[in-house]
Amino acid sequence: MKNKLNFYKYMMFETFKKVSLSRILQSYYFKKFNIIENENVIEFGSHKDSSKSFYKNISGTFSIDFADKLLGENNIKFDLEKQNEVNKKYTMVIIFNVLEHVYDVDNAIKELKKILKPSGKIVGATPFLYRVHYAPEDYNRYTKQFFLKLFEENNMKNIKIEELGFGPFTICYSILFDYLKYIPLLSNIILTICIVLDKFLNIFIKTPLKNIYPLSYIFYCEN
C-alpha cells in the first residue's frame, strides 16, 4: 500500500512539472533495471545536459556516452539505419522513445548488438497509444508480440517486455495532456479521476486494461 501511495505521489509531482504520463511511467519502471557498479553505458537520442535523459533515473557508479545520427559536441555519431564503425563496446544500451523514429528497426537492433559486450543489455521503451511526434520522422508503433519476435530473431536472451499504462481513460488523459499541462492542478485532478475510472472498469474485465490499451512498452534483453 505504501509503495502504491509513493508511486501515486511521484506521478502527481512529475505531472505538475509538465512531464507526460508516458515518460513518467517509463522513468519509474526503468529503475527496476538497476545498473551494476562500473557499467559502461551508452544512451541513444539524448545528451548529457538534457532534462529528458533516462540515465538520470539510475544510481551507482558508471561511465556514459551519448549517441545520435548527427555528430554533436557531446555525443558519438551513430546512425541506427546504417552500418556503423564500432570503436567501443558497452555493457548497457539505453534507448527510450527512439525506435519509433527508425524505419528499419531490425537493422537498428543488429547495429546495437555490434556495440554490446557479451551479456550486454538493451533497455528501452517506445510509445504505443500516443500522439504522432516528428523528430524528424515518426514511422511506427510496435506491439509486445513484435518486440518479442524481433529480439528472438536477433538471438537476444532474457527478454522482458511490459505494458505501461492504466486503461482507456488515462489514454484519453494522455491525448489531452499537451493542453492540460498548462493548468497543472486541473491536469492532476483529471489524471486522478481517469486512474480511478480505469481501476474501477478493470474490476469487470479479467485482462488488465493496460495490456489492451498500452500507453507505451518498456523492454529489456541481453546479448
User: Within 10 A of 120 (CB to CB), how many other CB atoms are there?
Assistant: 21
In the three-class reduction of DSSP (H, G, I as helix; E, B as strand; rest coil), residue 39 is classed as: strand
Answer for the pair 149, 215: CB distance below 8 angstroms, yes or no: no
Those residues whose C-beta lies under 8 Å from the C-beta of residue 58, and which sit 6 or more positions away, are 30, 31, 34, 35
> pTM value?
0.89
User: Is 2's pLDDT higher than 70?
Assistant: no
DSSP letter at 214 equals: -
**The three grid cell numbers given for residue 184, joined into one nine-digit string:** 497543472
Residue range 160-210, pLDDT digits in tens:
999 999 999 999 999 999 999 999 999 999 999 999 999 999 999 999 999
150, three cell numbers: 524481433
| CATH numbers and ranges of domains, the chain | 2-222 (3.40.50.150)
pLDDT digits (tens, 9 = 90+) for 130-166: 988 887 789 999 999 999 999 999 999 999 999 999 9
Is residue 24 within 8 A of residue 54, CB to CB? The reply is no
What percent of the chain is modeled with pLDDT above 70? 87
Of 116, 118, 115, 105, which is closest to residue 153 (Cα–Cα)?
A: 105
CA 84 to centroid of chain Cα atoms: 24
